[in-house]
Structure 1
Amino acid sequence: MNHKAGYLYVATGQKYIKEAEYSASSLKEVMPNSNITLITDKDYSSPFFDNVILQGFDSIDEKSWKANLVYKIMGISKSPYEKTIFLDTDTYIIEPFNELFELLDHFEVMIAPDYYDKNNIQINGKVVEGYYPYNTGVLAFSKTQQTKRFIDDWLSIYIEELQDFWSDQQAFMKALIKVNVKLFVLSSIYNFRFLNNVGLPDAEKVRILHSRSSKEEFIRIAKLVNSDTSQRVWVAPLRKIFNWESKKMFQGIRNILYPLIKTNK
């Protein structure tokens, strides 16, 4: 394989392979020349995957659902690319984001915050205050000695402390403390988890939606978040986006109603 940069999915089981295929189809629609690899445990063919790498599942001792997270990290460690963008299977691509490959000329690992995961990270039995997990559903990395060591440590820490972690993200954070890699924190436009409230920067479109949903809902949310690219806030319970104009509108309504409320008291 001659491609030095590409996109990686790791999936097993028909449900998640189909989910990865759907995500890959959205990626190909936005960036047709993308090179995409699927790492899985059984032969699979799809026009949306340029390469399929087989990796056995039998070597994993864990029998719970956490075995899938062990497999995920193992798959990430097998990336065939010099520069990799790993994507969870429940992502949906709505805008090009290949600029991340250029950023990897300057950084080794790039990842976005997780606004939901507030699990404490403990080092030597002591909580590291204010150190909250990133979301490993979108992960860009270059192939260096340091990133290899980092991913290997991520895997070993997760396996060793499997019973204490509900996801692989705490192990990721512990590996970050242990191994010195050049890290860049991505904006949420690259990992827009629309089940959470999220602030979005001015003049930037969301590139990647991340959460399970129907195609119709993905398209609807894409229109909502990118129809106006001013500084804005996504309010998840309402499934609505609010910007500065929205604020001025609400202030106007408040200015009209507030005197009426005071009069009626």
Structure 2
Amino acid sequence: MASFCIIYIATGKKYINEAITSATRSRSYISNTPIYCFTDELDIAASSGVFDHVILHPNATYSYRDKILPLLHLPCRYCLFLDSDAVLLTDPSAFLSILSHYHCAGVFAPVRIPSGWIDSSIPALFPEINTGVLFLKRSVRQYLLVRHWLYMYDYLLRTHNQSWDQASFRSSLWRLMTYLGLNFLSLPSESNLRLTKPWVVGKGSPVFIVHGRVPQDEWDNLVDYLNNDTTIFRTWNEWLRRYPSSALILKIPPQPLG
């Protein structure tokens, strides 16, 4: 069994087809790293030929909960979980040096603390993590983290009708770090570049993972813009200047270009 793998979790036809597209794009940068897919659409996933292992999702609810449950039992010692719209732009082995020293790694969400329930016991300087890209090392602490996350998700859904999963993850992560010694590493945004928020790519760094829905006819141009010249800052505004008819859409109004 491989020591490092990539995991996609996709339930329903819309998301398994999206995961197939993302995994196909990621394949360009993967050598021997296996890709696992947890899904309720076994036939579609298997017939795509892009996944090395297709596993039946244990309890599909067609909600954010679906991505939590399979992470209780990781198939490899080191795992990179990707949302169905997240794509690797580098050899994933680059992350192994990080995962060997930490139980979990992720990127702070661009919307630091959104509306809804928040854990007021956590300092504001520790905002939400975007859970669409997570690096996990299989261990007792990782298992307890995911188990507590699942418990908190179900609790908040039941008591606050909150189906979003990042507030529950933030609360669980802080608890495991504080009381059980879980080691968490905050990674730069280039490890999870959220295309639906105004973005900036730091000078001197490539983008390792892009996270957002990109039309096929814009894919090559976007990758070229992000990683062809890393000696400059790359920004949403500059992308729009170059490609004013781009279909990439922000979930909040963009800032003026002038």
**TM-score normalised per structure 2:** 0.82
In the TM superposition, residue 102 of structure 1 has moved relative to its aligned partner by: 2.1
User: Could you tell me whether the CA contact under 8 Å between 1:191 and 1:210 is conserved in 2?
Assistant: yes
**1:63-96 Cα shifts (integer Å, max 9, x gaps):** xxxx421111002223211110000001133332
Which has more radius of gyration? 1
Runs of 4+ in structure 1 off by over 6 angstroms are none
Identity within the alignment, %: 24
Counterpart pick for 2:97 among 94, 99, 102: 102
User: Which residue number corresponds to residue 81 of structure 2?
Assistant: 86
User: Which residue number corresponds to residue 173 of structure 1?
Assistant: 170
User: Which residue number corresponds to residue 129 of structure 1?
Assistant: 124
User: Which residue number corresponds to residue 68 of structure 1?
Assistant: 63
2-11 or 165-174, larger mean C-alpha shift: 165-174
Tell me how far apart the structure 1 counterparts of residues 89 and 220 of structure 2 sit (CA, whole Å). 8
Q: How does 1:147-162 map to 2 (within 5 A)?
A: 147-162=142-157
- RMSD (CA atoms): 2.2
Aligned residues: 232
User: Could you tell me whether the CA contact under 8 Å between 1:110 and 1:141 is conserved in 2?
Assistant: yes
Q: 1:184 to 1:215 in 2, by over 3 A?
A: same
Unaligned runs of 5+ in 2: 243-258
1:47 aligns with 2:43: no
Q: How does 1:23-34 map to 2 (within 5 A)?
A: 23-34=22-33
Q: 1:240 to 1:6 in 2, by over 3 A?
A: farther
Tell me how far apart the structure 2 counterparts of residues 148 and 56 of structure 1 sit (CA, whole Å). 16
In the TM superposition, residue 126 of structure 1 has moved relative to its aligned partner by: 5.6
User: Which residue number corresponds to residue 210 of structure 2?
Assistant: 209
Q: 1:227 to 1:238 in 2, by over 3 A?
A: closer
Secondary structure of the corresponding residue to residue 3 of structure 1: coil
Tell me how far apart the structure 2 counterparts of residues 117 and 218 of structure 1 sit (CA, whole Å). 28
Tell me how far apart the structure 2 counterparts of residues 183 and 73 of structure 1 sit (CA, whole Å). 18
User: Could you tell me whether the CA contact under 8 Å between 2:82 and 2:132 is conserved in 1?
Assistant: yes
Tell me how far apart the structure 2 counterparts of residues 184 and 9 of structure 1 sit (CA, whole Å). 21
Tell me how far apart the structure 2 counterparts of residues 92 and 40 of structure 1 sit (CA, whole Å). 18
Q: 1:240 to 1:133 in 2, by over 3 A?
A: farther
| Aligned residue identity for 1:165 | Q
143-152 or 160-169, larger mean C-alpha shift: 160-169
Unaligned runs of 5+ in 1: 61-66, 242-265
User: Could you tell me whether the CA contact under 8 Å between 1:87 and 1:137 is conserved in 2?
Assistant: yes
**TM-score normalised per structure 1:** 0.80
| Aligned residue identity for 2:188 | S
User: Which residue number corresponds to residue 252 of structure 1?
Assistant: none
